Structure 1
Amino acid sequence: MHTRQLSTAGPQISEIGFGAWAIGGGWGKQEDAESMRALNMAIDRGVNFIDTAQGYGDGHSEQIIGEVLKNRSESIFVATKTAPAEGPWPPSPYCRWQDRYSAAYLRANVNERLNNLGVDRLDLLQLHTWTRAWNDDPQPLMVLHRLRDEGKINLIGVSTPEQDQDCVIQLMRNGLVDVVQVIFNLFNQEAAAQILPVAAETGTGVIVRVSLDEGALTGKYTADHVFPEDDFRHRYFEGDRMRRTTERVEAIRQDIESFGLSEDYTMADVALKFALARPEVSTVIAGMRNVKQVEQNTRTSQLRDLPSEMVTHLHRHNWQRGVWYSGK
């Protein structure tokens, strides 16, 4: 497993990270025993970065991670997230930070994260979403800086709102965050315009999420696939979205074949390697809920990088499809 540095102040972390949303719930039925097997195998295979959140099963994902790490001797970096108090997601331009991320709320929430993970200090605490409306008075981040001074947090980050990822650029340039978590994949390449260059300019770590477009870029789904209602993808791919997506996935598959890589690289390998082709990227999160997925996603690090001419060719798959989270 290859490693990269997470920001100028951060440690060396595995370039493939363990995405722990599904083990907390929200992606259909999941057994804790299987989650623990997946976590242990990932660590055995060199993964030392785990991404979780308060919202992944109301802390259940964090609790499973904490339980597994109690029995491991390796140094594992765990990034978690604090969701805002009740209100629109992402926060609207009219939301006040005082109502969504007040100091009292953040302090109580951070203590909850510490308890769930069973640690005295969080490796990385990210605000799970944000709004540009707070950029000129970013008091929630000031609270996190005070919590860092008190020894409860090491690194500070923001996970971008899907509708306005560029809102973190000002935060990076103002030195308010150590890390940003962004969507960057074969379909959504907008982070290449400014976020990634500014991250390099400011020494900000970059965690890439949704690198497989919620599983679509593995190439394993057909146009008529429907997810169970207890899987959040049931809505994400509602209507004709799966058909439109699989048509574009097939075009990527043809590119892989035309470059002569189809025997050695899966669709998932190419999707992960595409994100890793950017040197600004510190780690790419891949969701792993079972041993098979761990085996598939960790093997990618062992493969040769994609040829530069192929990476350039794959730029053509950038897809301006809008934001599906808010409806069609």
Structure 2
Amino acid sequence: MMNRKLGTNGPLVSAVGLGCMGMSGAYGQSDEKESIATIERALELGHNFLDTADYYALGHNEELISKAITGKREKAFLSVKTGQLVAPGPNGAMGPGSVSGHPDYLRNAVFYSLRRLKTDYIDLYTQARVDPNIPIEETIGALSELVQKGVIRYIGLSEASAESIRKAACVHPITALQIEYSLWSRDIEAEVLPTIRELGIGLVAYAPLSRGFLSGEIRTPEDLKDSRIHMPRYQGENFYKNLELVRKIKVLAAEKGCTASQLAIAWILAQGDDIITIPGTKRVKYLEDNIASENIQLTKEDLKSIASIMPAAIVSGARYPERFLSALNR
């Protein structure tokens, strides 16, 4: 098992964590029994970083995790995001709404999370998006108060700009930035990644498999029956252009004796010891496959081969629909 320090002054956590969002219906039907078994298996193997959010299925995800960690709380590092509001979508579905970084909202939200998780503290509490209507200093000030009260231990940001990160760090130490980072999503390398490294902030890379596409298991548009069908990368001509890139990665992975998923995760881990990643799954088998990525050693030649196939910005299409892009890098 590989552990890494989360930021310069943060705790040791598993380099490969577990993103739990999909356990609450984000990508197809949920299976509570298998999901709980997956979390339990992660903890059994010492992979303690469990990532959730209070808005995943309106708190269902936190309640699910609470069942899995009963009697094992000390083995889990709970990462909880907050501040992303949900709103009614088409056909009654719930989707992203506005954002709140208001101090009163955060003081209220954390106690609902504690109740659902059945714990008296949260290890890492992260503002999911920057609220454009509330100065980031006020948001972090409220989170700092929660640290002083002992209900959260570390503060995180997600999808924040370099400027907002600097402003936040002046109020209270920021332990981690959670942001999408993968072979297909490398925008942060220009400004955000150098900034957090300068400030000693760890990187929590979500969607390391680009929502499953880099696994090589998605072969036709009909394989997508969930929210991914609304994302530009998985639509029309973009789908087939990106599929060709994945085919090339699969060939390289086979030569390396691993799966495309494992190669993609190993690539992220090779980008720096200050990076951890949280591939999401709701099945024990895929959890164990993801964890095995830690054993893959990529040589300089391997990294050059990957770079020749997937240089930065080669992917076709944005990672979110247009209406959601304004909430990123804010």
Question: Shorter chain as normaliser: what TM range?
Answer: 0.7 to 0.9
Match of 1:174 in 2: 170
String of CA shifts for 1:88-119, please: whole Å, max 9, x gaps. 9686xxxxx8xx22222111111111111111
Within a 5 Å distance, the mapping from 1:53-202 to structure 2 comes to 53-72=53-72, 74-85=74-85, 100-130=100-130, 133=132, 137-160=136-159, 165-166=161-162, 168-171=164-167, 174=170, 176=172, 177-202=174-199
Alignment deviations for residues 276-300 of structure 1 (CA, whole Å, 9 cap, x no partner): 0122533110112011111211111
- Larger deviation, residues 27-36 vs 81-90: 81-90
1:210 alignment counterpart: 207
**What one-letter code is carried by the residue in structure 2 that aligns with 1:232?**
S
8 Å CA contact 2:137–2:168 kept in 1: the answer is no
User: How much does 1:156 deviate?
Assistant: 0.5
2-side partners of 1:226 and 1:167: how far apart?
A: 39
Q: What is the match of residue 47 of structure 1?
A: 47
Where do residues 219-230 of structure 1 align in structure 2 (5 Å cutoff)? Answer: 219-228=216-225
- Aligned amino acid, residue 195 of structure 2: V
**AA partner of residue 308 (structure 1):** K
Question: Deviation of residue 225 (structure 1)?
Answer: 3.4
| 2:11 paired residue number | 11
Q: TM-score scaled by structure 1?
A: 0.85
Aligned match of 1:94: none
Alignment match of 2:290 (pick from 294, 297, 301): 297
Say if 2:130 and 2:136, in contact at 8 Å, map to a contact too.
no
**Cα distance between partner residues in 2 of 1:155 and 1:70:** 22
Partner Cα distance (1:273, 1:26) in 2: 25
Structure 1 unaligned segments of length 5 or more: list them.
92-96
Question: Is the CA contact (8 Å cut-off) linking 2:162 and 2:195 kept in structure 1?
Answer: no
1:276-315 aligned at under 5 Å gives the runs 276-301=269-294, 303-315=295-307
Query: How many residue pairs align between the two structures?
Result: 310
Q: More deviation in 306-315 or 54-63?
A: 306-315
User: Partners of 2:130 and 2:102 in 1: how far apart?
Assistant: 13
Tell me, yes or no, if the aligned pair for 2:55 and 2:86 is still in contact at 8 Å: no
Deviations 1:13-72 (A, max 9, x none): 111101100112221111211111111111122211100011211111111111111132
3-state SS of 1:286 partner: coil
Taking the TM superposition and a 5 Å limit, the aligned residue runs for 1:235-314 are 235-236=230-231, 237-256=234-253, 260-261=255-256, 264-301=257-294, 303-314=295-306
Q: 2: CA distance between counterparts of 1:250 and 1:166?
A: 34
- State the secondary structure of the residue aligned to 1:57: helix
2:227 to 232, 243, 247: 232
Offset at residue 250 of structure 1 (A): 1.7
Equivalent in the alignment of 1:34: 34
- Distance, in Å, in 1 between the alignment partners of 2:123 and 2:253 is 38
8 Å CA contact 1:53–1:82 kept in 2: the answer is yes
Unaligned runs of at least 5 residues, structure 2: 88-94, 324-330
Q: CA separation in 2, counterparts of 1:51 and 1:168?
A: 23
| In 2, Cα distance between equivalents of 1:314 and 1:7 | 27
For 2:170 and 2:81, locate their aligned partners in 1 and report how far apart those are by CA, in whole Å. 21
Q: TM-score, normalised by structure 2?
A: 0.85
In structure 2, which of residues 298, 318, 323 is the aligned counterpart of residue 323 of structure 1?
318
Structure 1 stretch displaced more, 281-290 or 233-242: 233-242
CA deviation vs aligned residue, 1:213-232 (integer Å, no higher than 9, x gap):
0000111111443322xx22
Secondary structure class of the residue paired with 2:279: strand
